[in-house]
Amino acid sequence: MATLTGYSLYWDENGDGLGASDGISGGSETCPIYTDSDFPLGSGSVNYPTTLGTVSGVFYEYAGDTYFVPDDDTGFPPWEAGTVTSFTEAIKGSTGNDDLTGTTDRDVIHDSDQNLYNQTGDDRISAGSGDDTVVFGDGNDTIRGEDGNDQIGSWSFGSGNNLIEGGAGDDSIIGGSGDDQIIGGEGDDWMAGAGGRDTMDGGDGYDQFWVTDDHDYADITGGEGFVDWDIVGFGNWATNSGVNVTFSGDEAGSFAFQDTSTSGVFQEIEHIIGTDNGDNIDASGNSRGLTLEGRGGDDSIIGGSGDDYISGGRGADTLTGGLGSDTLVGGDGNDLFVVHDSDETTDVHGEGWWDIIQFQDEGTGEGAVVTYEGDTYGTYSIGGAAGNFSSIEQTETTRNDDIVDASASNWTAVTSMLDGDDTFLGSGGDDRVWAGDGQDYVDAGAGDDEIYGESDDDTLLGGDGHDSIYGGEGADSIVAGQGNDLVDAGAGHDTVDGGSGQDLIYGGDGDDVLGGGSGDDTLIADAGNDTLGGGAGSDVLKGGAGDDVFVIANNGGYDVVDDFRMDGTEHDQLDVTGLTNASGNPVTVGDVTVLDDGNGNAVLTFPGGEGIQLNGIAPATLSIPTLVSMGIPCFAGGTRIRTPSGDVPIENLNVGDLVQTLDNGMQPVLWVGRRHLTQADLAENPKLQPVRIRAGSLGNERDLIVSPQHGIVTTHSGESPALARAIHLARDGGPGFRVARGIKSVTYYHLMFESHEIIIAENAPSESFYPGPMALNALAPAERAEVAALFPELLANLGALEVYGPTARRFLIRKEITRDVAEKFSPARAFG
């Protein structure tokens, strides 16, 4: 039911009714006019000399007063007196079968007297060539609007089965409650079938068809004239029901309201407008370009293979473009945009508060590449699809290897990743990242970020800001960066560097390496054989279950260990290899001072001012042997090698000195090599980090520090003694073998003989230098030249086996290294 605003007219009746030249007095009274029930007196125009000028419209009588409704809303009632410049009286029907014909003027025609509603005659109405208004009553009527922009029908009258032809012009037609046939004709027409089973044909022009949820059935044809763009729109009158629209072919399909019986079919339609409720519009069966609008509600809209324009409108909508060059506009609400790798060009514009692009792989196996060019806008590509996006707050990527680069944005970037080895580069805002399965790389950048590594071995960098980082499963590498960070590494053998700030770090299950960095940090390792280093600052360390190592850093401050255990069931250790005494030599037990913190807990202080408090450990229990067993070296200097004169530090041996070998007695040293690696060298080449073999693990009396590839004699499954790589023992040989991450610099010495020998180092048998390819490559250029001078054939691409001979023992491969290696080792057997 249309409601218009009428302006009051106080006119000089003169006893002859309303007519041209009648004067009217000014006023400001308005009244609502209902076009379905308030019958018009006629059409015409009124002149307001200084305000509106000459205005065309329709005159109505309501409650004894006359009101004028302009064709165009003026926005305010005129206050001045005016003159009726033209007036054409309405053409009225009777209660019988009328034949009403309009004139060439603008006519108002209705087949019912204003006091006789719902007349039942079968009328024929020809409106003529003007811009006419036709109201028909009950009965099977035939209405022809002919030329002009006509308004035909109403929502309240007309229950018959009518034939309505709009003719030429831009017509507005309402069919009534019967089974109507409506033909728009030429022009841009607006049509609604109302109730019944209606057939509507737009003809030529930009036509609009409207169907509401109280109708029965509609068969709609848009028309394919010279101008070809027709619209079907849906609305609600009786319920809050959405509509389901499905294209079964090009510009053709069906519709049905979800909660009423209203349904129908359509063809030759290029534009769909949904209801204000949750609609489902699926145009995947269409290959031509369409416009699809959801209006209000939480809509689901799928485009076809043409170049579509899709608008979600209000509500939380899901929009999918499909093939073709599509434009997706979310509108108000939190919308989801779905882009497939089989799509073509799709431009996405969110416009709402929180909008998401979801990328899906349909078989190409390619990941998405998303590049932000500003806060919430940028470009993307996936498979054959590519496009631009704007006002997007979150991305959801595929199960392949995806890349999201938000580094150009200062807004919050939120990304959910699935499987695949993904890469995320964060924005300057507070990012949230779910990395999903796969070996992912996340650098969140500045801001207070949340990172979830989830499954597999991830590399997670928090960057600046107070970050929260959750490693999940897998052996993760986490660098929290600057700020007061929370790190939960989760299950797996994780490595964590807290960076600067006061960090809280949880290692979770697994053999973790936790470093607090600078600041007063708290490190909690949980189960596993963990390595904890507080770094600079006053830190709190808790190893949890397992044989843990607590690293004391040079100038590291005062640390507290909550649960240092040396009760026989667990064997925690202190790593002081990074500390030196006043002479610059590595610290020994003689450099350690043991104090009481006043509560019965031991405090160990070192020459550089470093201190560590061991809660639950009484100072009186820390004898020199106990300190040795905890990992503090007994003697300064380097590794001791067995000679005729006893055990001599390796750095004191020279070419020609005799050294005891297992196989050939005393043998002269042929060459001594030396390579010093600084902290920077080890940081650049972490594979060169030394391995610590704890005292007693292989018969050695003291901790033995060797290079990662150095061979140590051991046994395997009852076989003859063999050589095991130190790095393999550190990874798989049990708690007695570890990569010595606390060592910040190291000097490696190499002893070479006429042939490969087994020598005695710290009472443990190990190999001499063997000039294999890996060993030669690890030497400095000068050392390599020295070896080449002794064995020039090595530079002639001859192998070490041909030039130097075989190794003294075979080398175990890694899978042969087990945690029972130490138990099966027998020094007597090794020396035999």
Residues 626 and 669 in one domain: no
Residue 623 shares a structural domain with residue 670? no
Closest CA to 601 of 539, 645, 553, 559: 559
If we measure between CA atoms, which residue out of 147, 293, 289, 280 comes closest to residue 232? 293
Q: What is the structure's pLDDT at 123? A: 64
Residues 731 and 668 in one domain: yes
pLDDT given at position 113? 40
DSSP state of 345: B
Number of other residues whose CB lies within 10 A of the CB of residue 682:
18
b/e string for 659-669 if b means 16 or more Cβ within 10 A? bbbbeeeebeb
Is residue 361 a contact partner of residue 339, using CB atoms and an 8 Å limit?
Answer: no
DSSP assigned state of 257 = E
Q: Is residue 278 part of a domain?
A: no
CB count in 10 Å sphere of residue 732? 16
Distance CA 442, CA 470 (A): 12
In a domain, 102, yes or no: no
CA separation for the pair 109, 141 (Å, rounded) = 13
Last residue of a domain, one of 25, 59, 89: 89
What CATH number corresponds to the domain at position 667?
Answer: 2.170.16
* Domain closes at, from 636, 663, 680: 636
Shared domain check, 594 and 654: no
Residue position matching structure tokens 């710290």: 762
Q: Is beta strand 3-11 parallel, antiparallel or unpaired with respect to 23-25?
A: antiparallel
Q: What are phi and psi of 592, to 5 degrees?
A: -95, 135
Do 720 and 816 lie in one domain? The reply is yes
Which of helix, strand or coil describes residue 266?
Answer: strand
Whether residue 657 sits in one domain with residue 628 = no
User: Both 495 and 628 in a single domain?
Assistant: yes
3-state secondary structure of 98: coil
**Domain-embedded: residue 609:** yes
In a domain, 226, yes or no: no
Q: How many CB atoms lie within 10 A of CB 719?
A: 11
Domain with residue 551: its CATH number is 2.150.10.10
Q: CB count, 10 Å around CB of 117? A: 13
Domain boundary residue, one of 636, 669, 693: 636
10 and 37 both lie in a single domain: yes
Cβ burial of 373 (10 Å; 0-12, 13-18, 19+) is middle
DSSP 8-state class, residue 686: G
Tell which phi-psi region holds residue 79, choosing left (phi > 0), alpha (psi between -120 and 50) or beta: alpha
Q: What is each CA distance from 653 to 601, 637, 642, in whole angstroms?
A: 44, 13, 11
556 located within any domain: yes
Both 8 and 68 in one domain: the answer is yes
Instruction: Give the Å distances, CA to CA, from 755 to 302, 791, 803.
Output: 76, 11, 10
Predicted local distance difference test score (pLDDT) of residue 486 = 97
| SS3 of residue 367 by DSSP | coil
Q: Are the C-beta atoms of 635 and 648 separated by less than 8 Å?
A: no
Q: Is residue 534 part of a domain?
A: yes
CA-based diameter of the chain, in Å? 146
Asked whether residue 127 is domain-assigned, the answer is: no
From CA 130, how far away is CA 101, in angstroms rounded?
12
Judgement on whether residues 689 and 558 belong to the same structural domain of the protein = no
Residue burial 782-819, b: 16+ Cβ < 10 Å; e: rest: ebbeebbeebeebeeeeebeeebeebbbeebeeebbee
- Provide the b/e sequence for 473-503 (b: ≥16 CB within 10 Å): bbbbbbbbbbbbbbbbbbbbbbbbbbbbbbb
- Does 583 lie in the same domain as 498? yes
- Which residues of the chain register pLDDT less than 50? 1, 102, 112-119, 633-637, 822-832
Q: Is 261 helix (H, G, I), strand (E, B) or coil?
A: coil
| Residue whose C-alpha is closest to residue 440's, from 409, 412, 470, 402 | 402
601 and 736 assigned to the same domain: no
For the chain, what is the domain count? 3
Domain extent for 27:
3-89
Return phi, psi of residue 259, to 5°: -120, 5
Whole-angstrom Cα distance, residue 628 to residue 766? 23
Q: Is 682 helix (H, G, I), strand (E, B) or coil?
A: helix
Asked if residues 243 and 274 have their Cβ atoms less than 8 Å apart, the reply is yes
pLDDT at 832: 30
Q: How many CB atoms lie within 10 A of CB 120?
A: 15
Secondary structure (3-state) at 228? strand
Is residue 428 situated within a structural domain?
no
